[in-house]
Structure 1
Amino acid sequence: MIELQQVTKRFGMTVAVDAIDLTIETGELCVLVGTSGCGKSTTLRMINRLIPHSAGDIRIDGTAVTDLDPVQLRRRIGYAIQSTGLFPHWTVAQNIGLVPQLLGWPKAKIQARIEELLALLGLDRTEFWTKYPHQLSGGQAQRVGVARALAGDPDILLMDEPFGALDPITRENLQDELLRIQQAVRKTIVFVTHDIDEALKLANRLVIMDQGKIIQQGEPWYVLEQPANAFVENLLGKADRGLKQASLTLVTALMDTLDESSRQNNPPPIDATATLKDAMSAMLWHRTDRLNVVNAQKELIGQLRLDRMLRPKER
């Protein structure tokens, strides 16, 4: 658990973070989102003491970070940034193995951990073990950066705009990869972004900041349905809030069980992992009011109808 109590950061006369309170539960993926200069990156960096806080308390599992040795603290917290921070003259394997080496792991354990992380992030050992950062694409370098952040098996992972410089397709793929990894390893992740769509996709807890303050926090559904003020509403996007809500719900949540007519009509298929937003797009494209939902084996498991999607919310 990470707890921030009345945390403030001043740079001279400028207040960058203004008396914020935030509790991030163990295993939660918490996303800090807001416009440039709102204090989200400063908040992140105060957690691992890259930036000292000016007032208030920051605690990890009940212990104040100021009571911990900063070097030891950072070695037990993974940190991934937009520029990756990879050492240019070190191979992929050397970069990933840095923190385990500093922690004094045996050589065989370090090698096994590097191999495990390369597999977890979809990087072939034979191809990438001896490559250098300049030989990697942006997406590959970012994967190595995430692998390095995970290498010491930290309980906490801090990520500061890690996918911000990537093209949309690579960015979406790495977002999916992060969600898959989080399902597998259940780290406590604090993720900073200025992209509201990325924030909504990733967050268990969404924290919206403006001018150094936390304006609203909660589950993405709650924030979308009950924005605290005009700033939050504008950040979420007034015109497409409905589509953003649809992107948070899988088609399986609203699909109907199969009946004889659904088997006979044979509408276009949609994957069970798709969202209601994907379904709306498919319905418009195919000019249909229903879709057959199929599983990974392409077996028919249900049907999604437009009128079911348009019923009043049951939440």
Structure 2
Amino acid sequence: MSLAANLPSPPLSSSNHHNCKNSNGDGESSAEDPICQVKLPAPAFKWRLVIAYDGTNYAGWQFQQSPPTIQCFIEKALTRVTKLEREDLHIVGAGRTDAGVHAWGQEAHFLTPFKYECLEGVHTALNGVLPPDIRVREVSPAIPEFHARFSVTSKVYRYKIYNDPVMDPFQRYYAYHSAYKLKASAMREAAQHFMGSHDFSAFANASRNDRAPNPVKNIFRFDVVEQGALIQIEVEGSGFLYRQVRNMVALLLQIGREAIPPSIVPVILESRDRKELAKHALSVPPHGLCLVSVNYREDHLRLPSDCPPPSFGRTHTVSKCKLPFY
């Protein structure tokens, strides 16, 4: 791993402004502000991480020492690899997944006062000290304008339901078991009522902080796909309120059981009242939910000049057999 310290830094202003039109994501509690001021130290180099994790044994993403969180382990790994203090890294995640929620495409960024000449060594070192249920999938340089949270244009979440009388034991940590036979066509019809821009107050649990996020979200895609006994619900939106995705899935489950009709969705949306949803459905558990990907502004994903290429992991090869022949 080669470092080039004290090199000229890309221009980072002491304060950057971003329009915070995106939301937090399911299982998150931080609020949106019309304009968010982000103070960044200068000089500094910015680096982007794509992270996958099995959330079974963690209390979500957000940093806290006990119980352990994903951010806690990421920051400990970064401090060990970079030799910097936690406060110097300024790590920021795309959103706060809740306890027990998984991720394939969580994103984060961090800062260093030096520039790496090659990212493969850093990438290998991070995964070498992280627990096996947390993996860094990509490390790449980022331009100053990129922000893991404020540059977001949409997020994609997937919820898995195993619909069979007997649960597949290999799916037990990653899919919700429904022994009731579900009518997927009714769930698809209901899902279309979520499409577009709506006030989702009726589908949000109380936020865990004292600032009220914007309840109006835009849903771009809402798919219900059957794959044998597995039903996958995938939703893409501009942002999500706290537990919004799980609450929408809970209502779709009741509709799939044919306990209530698909036409109930606009009625609950228009009520803007969480108590109205509670009359028909309870929230589903977190282990079926996964943050699939975070999408960003294309112009903020440009790679900076004079920086190393992204690392997607080091490929190992064997040039010749090292075992003796007998």
TM-score band by shorter chain is under 0.3
Name the structure where strand makes up a greater proportion of residues. 2
**What TM-score do you get using the length of structure 2 for normalisation?**
0.23
Name the structure where helix makes up a greater proportion of residues. 1
| Greater RCO, CA 8 A, separation 6+ | 2
